[in-house]
Structure 1
Amino acid sequence: MAHEHGVDHLGPLPAFMTPGDGVVPFVTPMGDKMWLVRDYALGRLVLADQRFSRAEATKPHAPRFNDSQPAPDAVMSMDGADHARLRRVVSGAFSTRRVAALAASVEGLTDERLDALAASGPGADLVEGLATPLPLSVLCSMLGIPPEDGGIFRNWVEVLFDISASTPREKSRRRLELVDYMGELIERKRHSADEDLLTGLITAHDAGTLSQGELLTLGLSLLMAGYETTVGQIGLSVLALLSDPVVHADLRARPEILDPVVDELLRLTPSTPLSFPRVALEPVRLGAVTVQTGEAVVVSLLHGNRDTTTWERPEGLHPRGHDTPHLTFGHGVHRCVGAPLARLQLRIVLERLLRRFPDLRVADGPDSVVWKEGLSIRGLARLRVDW
């Protein structure tokens, strides 16, 4: 689907995500009924309230949103002590200090991609040339996955995140292939002296902190959650910035506003439009409706970030940012553990991209901006630019 740049950057959205009341019922792609929360304050309540369970939402009898949901033993599918235990295992690797130490590596990988773009230009597809390969390289390096295996992962992960273009049987086959590969890689790394994140997970397993199943699922979850979302976020953010000539020029003139601009881009055009479903453990009043025990709720992060009762001129890109925290990385105990890494990559990409190509602009033509469709993650299939 081609999208004319210079207009709102929501892209193709299902009918139930059009503007409307704060809490509304809808039917999921799987045919189940859920509640959609589009209000910022109510969304924060659902994301942090222990009366709404992630673990219950993974049970066989629970309403289902689509067939691309995380496994029951994934960290994002657990509650309480089990969730806290798995989160502790990985949180240190994504601390502000540890992520800051990755900056030089991310800068180097970004410069390699920009060199390749410059050599083949002028003009390029930023999705294929930058937004897709960079997060994959960063994650493979961080986890300790051989660079030559990156292409394999890209094909596997893109099928698993797809909602409509691949069949459940195809997704099941790819999941088994991923698990087999990760199991083989873990066995190889068990006898190495590497200092990557996957080796750290193996150490936690050998110490009894993780089961074998949790070790496999956690390794895969970190790779999958950090790849497609960051690919989408880079493309969406560059498009939004290039479509706002005032902020674009302001950022080039005043690089010191980069951090609030990055935060605004995350708020305005998140690659993750919806939270994972949560199931009510008891009746809970949300605005004008009562969610009954056993009913499922999904929070629209996209709409919460544009709530007119919370944000001043919410559709605009404000170079000085907002004091109110956005919902793009979630809220509460399930807030995205990889948020510092995603923010770092986006910041470095924008800083070096605009410095390298100060006259960067979206290319002319109706097919310069093409949206991905049928995915649980928002993103672009193509973003052609000139300089």
Structure 2
Amino acid sequence: MTQLGLDDIGPLPDHLGRDGGATVPIVTPMGDRMWLVRDYALARLVLTDARFSRAEAVAPHAPRFNDAQPVPASMMSMDGSEHARLRRIITGTFTSGRVAAMAPGIERLVDRHLDDLEAAGPGADVMDRLAVPLPLAVLCTLMGVPHADSLRFGTWVGVLFDVSASTPQQKVRHRVELARYMAGLVERKRREPGADLLTALIERHDGGELSLTELVTMGLSLLMAGYETTIGQIGLAVLSLLAEPARRDGFLERPAAAVEELLRLNPSTPLSFPRVAVETVELGDVTVRAGEGVLVSLFDANRDGRVFPAGPDRRPAPHLTFGHGPHRCPGAPLAQLQVRIAVERLLRRFPGLRLAGGAPAVQWKDGLLTRGPAHLHVSW
């Protein structure tokens, strides 16, 4: 039995693939027993099969990995027809056209942050100057959060992925503050509608497709799910390219394909949200009993050598960084766009970019379900 603790989802979770089979038993930080799936094919099965339930995973009696779970009213915690109904509303408003139209604005934001980075001089922190403020500004623009509220909002929004950085009481307080803020923003948008996603969702509510609770929860879910994950993904991408100069050169030749490979190799969310088996399932060479919890190691599944063999001739397969199946992240295109624009413009602006000397250039985040640098100091 592997004891899986907070260190095990840290900077380089290669421990997940060292020993054992495709599915192994673990003990979570909460002291519960679960199965950890590390095989690509079995991971896709767990992420799509209705016998593995997200709704059951947030029930009071369910085994838990940690207490940083989406609320039961969140689309991320639903199964079946209710999940599909909310998913259709999201995909009908959060369209590829809306994301594509954001590209010029994201480019301007990135250039402004790179100006700040250059002004700070060699030794500046890519996280503070680019990776952290960019996703916050993009999400606030997308949802119509006023600029004056963005800093306050940014101190709350990471609570969804907070494992140990705050107390349970602080988590509850932040969740309440976020819900109150979003409810107030909905009322403000009713009086002053805009061309933002929240206004579009309010129109769905007014048309009877969403309850007020679903509207508020959906707004919060979109904001929180796209914040810490994108911050980590930008930081991990930059660090990977600085560590491998050959990969950096290839990035500038084919940035879109290079981003997908970086996302595969270094997911900022190394583990899926838990699921609970609603009946007994044969999962590879193990039997998962009804009521048992299952996690997918996205990190390991993305590095399954039978699916992703080494070498230039390997055939690409879809990575699982954004999940798979009904619960695949609807914000994946926006995250991919931000990572591509941020990293490409950073490398073109600073062709001599490298890790700063002196004090440790990289400091890692601690206490979050996501992974990535807290600080990444660079020179050029």
Q: Same fold (TM over 0.5)?
A: yes
Q: Distance in 2 between matches of 1:366 and 1:21?
A: 40
Seen in structure 2, the aligned counterparts of structure 1 residues 54 and 125 have a Cα distance that, compared at 3 Å, is same
**Contact 2:70–2:160 (Cα < 8 Å) also in 1:** no
TM-score by length of 1: 0.92
Q: Secondary structure at the match of 2:198?
A: helix
Q: Counterpart of 1:170? A: 170
Task: State the one-letter code of the partner of 1:379.
Answer: G
Q: Secondary structure at the match of 2:375?
A: strand
CA deviations on 1:55-80 (whole Å, 9 max, x unpaired) are 11111111111111001111111111
Task: State the one-letter code of the partner of 1:376.
Answer: L
Q: Counterpart of 1:263? A: 260
Q: Secondary structure at the match of 1:290?
A: strand
**Contact 2:16–2:300 (Cα < 8 Å) also in 1:** no
Q: Distance in 2 between matches of 1:331 and 1:273?
A: 14
Answer with 203-212 or 37-46: which moved more.
Answer: 203-212
Seen in structure 2, the aligned counterparts of structure 1 residues 112 and 339 have a Cα distance that, compared at 3 Å, is same
Deviating beyond 3 angstroms after TM superposition, the runs of 4 or more aligned structure 1 residues are 12-20
The answer on 1:292 being equivalent to 2:285 is: no
The answer on 1:274 being equivalent to 2:271 is: yes
Task: State the one-letter code of the partner of 1:312.
Answer: P
Q: Distance in 2 between matches of 1:57 and 1:101?
A: 36
Q: Counterpart of 2:4? A: none
Q: Counterpart of 1:6? A: none
CA deviations on 1:75-98 (whole Å, 9 max, x unpaired) are 111111111111111113433222
Answer with 242-251 or 291-300: which moved more.
Answer: 242-251
Q: Counterpart of 2:6? A: none
Gaps of 5+ in 1: 1-8
Gaps of 5+ in 2: 1-8
Seen in structure 2, the aligned counterparts of structure 1 residues 291 and 197 have a Cα distance that, compared at 3 Å, is same
Q: Counterpart of 1:359? A: 352
**Contact 1:182–1:220 (Cα < 8 Å) also in 2:** yes
Task: State the one-letter code of the partner of 2:161.
Answer: F
For 1:11-160, what aligned pairs fall within 5 Å after superposition? 11=11, 13=13, 19-160=19-160
Task: State the one-letter code of the partner of 1:144.
Answer: G
Q: Distance in 1 between matches of 2:331 and 2:160?
A: 20
Q: Secondary structure at the match of 1:190?
A: helix
Q: Counterpart of 2:319? A: 326
Q: Distance in 2 between matches of 1:209 and 1:132?
A: 34
CA deviations on 1:260-314 (whole Å, 9 max, x unpaired) are 110100000000111111111111111110101111101000010111222112x
Task: State the one-letter code of the partner of 2:11.
Answer: G
Task: State the one-letter code of the partner of 1:247.
Answer: R
Task: State the one-letter code of the partner of 1:152.
Answer: R
Q: Distance in 2 between matches of 1:140 and 1:122?
A: 29
Q: Distance in 1 between matches of 2:165 and 2:363?
A: 16
The answer on 1:212 being equivalent to 2:246 is: no
Q: Secondary structure at the match of 2:226?
A: helix
Seen in structure 2, the aligned counterparts of structure 1 residues 322 and 169 have a Cα distance that, compared at 3 Å, is farther
**Contact 2:270–2:299 (Cα < 8 Å) also in 1:** yes
Task: State the one-letter code of the partner of 2:375.
Answer: R
Aligned-residue identity in percent: 59
Seen in structure 2, the aligned counterparts of structure 1 residues 264 and 118 have a Cα distance that, compared at 3 Å, is same
**Contact 1:94–1:340 (Cα < 8 Å) also in 2:** no
Structure 1 residue 40, shift from structure 2 partner? 0.7
Q: Secondary structure at the match of 2:200?
A: helix
Q: Distance in 2 between matches of 1:251 and 1:310?
A: 22
Structure 1 residue 107, shift from structure 2 partner? 0.5
Q: Distance in 2 between matches of 1:327 and 1:365?
A: 37
Q: Secondary structure at the match of 2:24?
A: strand
Q: Counterpart of 1:369? A: 362
Answer with 239-248 or 115-124: which moved more.
Answer: 115-124
Seen in structure 2, the aligned counterparts of structure 1 residues 174 and 185 have a Cα distance that, compared at 3 Å, is same
Q: Distance in 2 between matches of 1:281 and 1:158?
A: 30
TM-score by length of 2: 0.94
Answer with 343-352 or 152-161: which moved more.
Answer: 152-161
**Number of aligned positions between the proteins:** 372
Seen in structure 2, the aligned counterparts of structure 1 residues 152 and 17 have a Cα distance that, compared at 3 Å, is farther
Q: Secondary structure at the match of 1:263?
A: helix
